[in-house]
Amino acid sequence: MIKVLRMEFVFNRRQLAITMAIFSIYFGWMANRIPSPRAFLVLTSLMIGLAIPFGILGREDKFKTASLVCSLPLRRSSVVLAKYAMSWITIGLALIYAIVLTAVLPFARIPLGEILNPKSLLISLAMISLLFSFILPFTTRFGLIGIIIFLVSTQVLGILLLVLGQILGPALNPLRMVIGTAENGIRFVLDHPSTSGFLLTLAASAVVLNAVSFFITRVLYARKEM
């Protein structure tokens, strides 16, 4: 797996450097604008969880390098394991980088101590896992075009829900219901007391999500035709 990791790093290092350069500006801007460490973590996690897997898989899709990787002397399961490891390593580094930026930037408004606690970190990991566990299998199966179709479909669905909301009135607006549910879910997690049971559940959720996602991706990748 180390060899695949090394190869993925060589293949993606420029892309990762560009992503980090853009993130530096964005994280700096967010650290200056957002006083809430939780909101900062949620937004940072969303950005990282989306950008890193998209970046790595996008390049594979663009250059069709999956057929190169699968012609090398290794099993496909090792390739999938390396993709997850690579994504998590870069996500971890990006998260550390974001936190370091909030610490060193003189104009940052976020108290570092509030980010560096188990609950905040576990919440970000769980959020990234949620995105990540969906993106990797989906992109493996359908490629970047699949993701674009998915995003366009969600936009079309959003427009339909908006229209439906206009027809049904504010009380029965389905878009508000969806957004409200997501908002309540995030708020529930953010406001929940940091009991050890809660922290364990968060950690377990992240692990389970990743494990399920990994096994689905492994099956999909084994069946993928190059």
Partner 1 sequence: MSNAIEIQGLRKEYHGFTLEDVSFRVPQGYIMGLIGPNGAGKTTVIKLIMNLIRRQAGEIKVFGLDNLRYEPEVKARIGFVYDTPRYPEDLRLKEIAAAIAPFYEGWDRSRFTALMEEFELPFKATFKKLSHGMRMKFSLAVALSHNADLILMDEPTAGLDPNFRFELIEKLRSIIQNEKKSVLFSSHITTDLERIADYITFIHRGRIVFSAAKDELLETWGVVKSAGDGIRPADIPGFRGYRRTDYNLEALTSDIATARRNLGPAAVYDKATLEDIMFFISKGTGHD
Q: Which residues are near partner 1 by CB under 8 A?
A: 3, 6-7, 10-11, 14, 59, 63-65, 67-68, 70-75, 223, 225-226
Structure tokens at 81: 């394991």
CA-to-CA distance for 49 and 51, rounded, in angstroms?
A: 6
The minimum distance between CB 220 and partner 1, in angstroms, equals: 12
CA-to-CA distance for 72 and 85, rounded, in angstroms?
A: 19
The minimum distance between CB 66 and partner 1, in angstroms, equals: 8
The minimum distance between CB 72 and partner 1, in angstroms, equals: 5
Q: Which residue in this structure is represented by tokens 């190869």?
A: 7
Burial 110-144 (b: 16+ CB within 10 A, else e): beeeebeeebbbbbbbbbbbbbbbbbbbbbbeebe
Closer CB to partner 1, 15 or 205, in the complex? 15
Closer CB to partner 1, 73 or 197, in the complex? 73
DSSP conformation class of 126:
H
Longest dimension (CA), the chain: 60
CA-to-CA distance for 212 and 137, rounded, in angstroms?
A: 10
Closer CB to partner 1, 47 or 82, in the complex? 82
Closer CB to partner 1, 14 or 33, in the complex? 14
The minimum distance between CB 123 and partner 1, in angstroms, equals: 35
The minimum distance between CB 58 and partner 1, in angstroms, equals: 12
Closer CB to partner 1, 12 or 213, in the complex? 12
